[in-house]
Structure 1
Amino acid sequence: MRRTEADGLRATWRPFQGQLISIVAVHEISGATPIVSFGPEEFPDLARARELLPKMNELWDAVRHDFWTKLIPPQPLCRQWRWT
């Protein structure tokens, strides 16, 4: 499980099937009670979460950023050849 915080909210999520994200729950950072949570058969991917909860767009952007920067690190630069 991963957690990402933005705009006073914390999303709990997990990667699945390689490059997809399952949203498990959203909490206020200051509280333990979830604002929204999903059951195992209902975990929405990030695109569906954006559709269901569009006012949390800043949080979804932060989740996407965390996923791409922490879980899928950048590939090393290719060596450039010089012709002389």
Structure 2
Amino acid sequence: MDSVCRTEADGLRVTWRLIQNRLISIVAVHDASDASPVLSFGPATYPDLAQARELHPGLAELWDAVRHDFWTTLIPPRRDKGRRWQWS
């Protein structure tokens, strides 16, 4: 199932899609304050996160935030923080 996600960092908001729970496709980047477009891609040209990094390396902080949100979506943080693994 595809889902649309949004991440904000460094004054920008990126819209990205999680495709089949494992692939990130970048849809668009907007200014977070006024929603003016910074980057947009057509459905046939949505780059994945690695391609977006290569195409726009100056947005590294934004791509790092997307990666963080991706992993948080894929593997949510544990709720029981008091429980610890014990090795025997």
Q: TM-score if structure 2 supplies the norm length?
A: 0.80
Which structure would you say has the larger Rg? 1
Indicate the RMSD between aligned Cα atoms, in angstroms. Answer: 2.2
Q: List alignment gaps of at least 5 residues for structure 1.
A: none
1:57 aligns with 2:60: yes
Show CA shifts across 1:49-77 (max 9, x none): 000110000000000000101233368xx
Give the corresponding residue for 2:17. 14
Q: Indicate how the Cα distance of structure 1 residues 31 and 72 shifts in structure 2: closer, same or farther if over 3 A, else same.
A: same
The Cα shift of 1:18 comes to 3.2
Q: Secondary structure at the match of 1:41?
A: helix
For 1:26, which of 11, 14, 29 is the aligned residue? 29
1:44 aligns with 2:47: yes
Q: TM-score if structure 1 supplies the norm length?
A: 0.83
Q: List alignment gaps of at least 5 residues for structure 2.
A: 79-84
The Cα shift of 1:31 comes to 1.7
Moved more, 8-17 or 51-60: 8-17
CA distance in 2, matches of 1:81, 1:65: 29
Moved over 6 A (4+): none
